[in-house]
A and B are shown apart, each in its own frame.
Chain A
Amino acid sequence: DVVLTQSPLSLPVTLGQPASISCRSSQSLVYSDGITYLTWFQQRPGQSPRRLIYKVSNRDSGVPDRFSGSGSGTDFTLKISRVEAEDVGVYYCMQGTRWPLTFGQGTRLEIK
């Protein structure tokens, strides 16, 4: 199975400051069609997961532009340019390139 390793697992951030989460894969996530199926989700306290970013860098509708995704191959990053209070929660990366679908362990973002 593809193992996704996120770091850090806990991320205290001051309001208005940037934040960055890494997701490293045990295998290349480039599919045979040339597309990389790496997705980022946000799970706010007490809520269902919400997709933020798909195919590495595409923002979902309604997602603020302070969120951005980047990376290639086995190394990916989610960045928040200026953290706001509503960004508190757990962030997960997920790969959809190979069965079974797998998630990273999650990164808990909190306000310092």
Chain B
Amino acid sequence: EVQLLESGGGLVQPGGSLRLSCVASGFTFSNYAMGWVRQAPGKGLEWVSDISGSGGNTFYADSVRGRFTISRDNSKNTLYLQMNSLRVEDTAVYYCAKEGGSGSYGHLDYWGQGTLVTVSS
């Protein structure tokens, strides 16, 4: 059974940093690209970032490029999202999601339960 468990959310001041983690189980982690999708309170879904199975290719939404960094540690079955220079508008539940293959994107077939990031002074 595929399981994705996010952690690392919390309250942070504008301009601060936070690192999210997502531990995966139930599949061969290194064989699949992974992604992050966020949802602001009461709003819709917004794709944030994707990374290939090897970690060699990364993709970002314009709204986070240059501030957020996606990475993975395949030895630990863990996906990360380093978030710097956080803004109030980054407040959201952040979901990690599994993609369809190592270099296959836009599938998002399994999702975690999400972790809430609140950016506020």
| A positions within 8 Å CB-CB of B | 37, 39, 41, 43, 48-51, 54, 60, 90, 92, 94-97, 99-106
Contact = CB atoms under 8 A, between A and B. Distances in A.
Contacts of A60: 109
Interface residues of B, number: 21
Interface stretch (B23-31, B80-88, B110-118): B110-118
B34 to A, nearest CB: 13
A85 B46 CA distance: 27
Contacts of B44: 90, 92, 103-106
Given A51-B108, A90-B44, A100-B61, 12 more contacts: A39-B107, A39-B108, A48-B113, A49-B37, A51-B111, A54-B107, A94-B45, A94-B106, A95-B106, A100-B59, A101-B106, A103-B46
B47 A100 contact: yes
Given A103-B44, A103-B45, A96 B106 contact: yes
A51 B111 CA distance: 9
B50 interface: yes
Contacts of B45: 41, 43, 49, 92, 94, 103, 106
Contact of A99 (B37, B59, B95, B110): B59
A96 B37 CA distance: 13
A41 B95 CA distance: 14
A96 B109 contact: no
A59 to B, nearest CB: 12
Contacts of B109: 51, 54, 60
Most central of B47, B62, B95 by chain A CB within 10 Å: B47
Contacts of A48: 95, 111-114
Interface centre among A49, A54, A97, A105 (most CB of B within 10 A): A49
Contacts of B50: 101
27 contacts: A37-B107, A39-B108, A41-B108, A43-B45, A48-B111, A48-B113, A48-B114, A49-B37, A49-B45, A49-B95, A49-B111, A51-B108, A51-B110, A51-B111, A54-B107, A54-B109, A90-B44, A92-B45, A95-B106, A96-B105, A97-B106, A99-B59, A100-B61, A100-B62, A103-B44, A103-B47, A106-B45
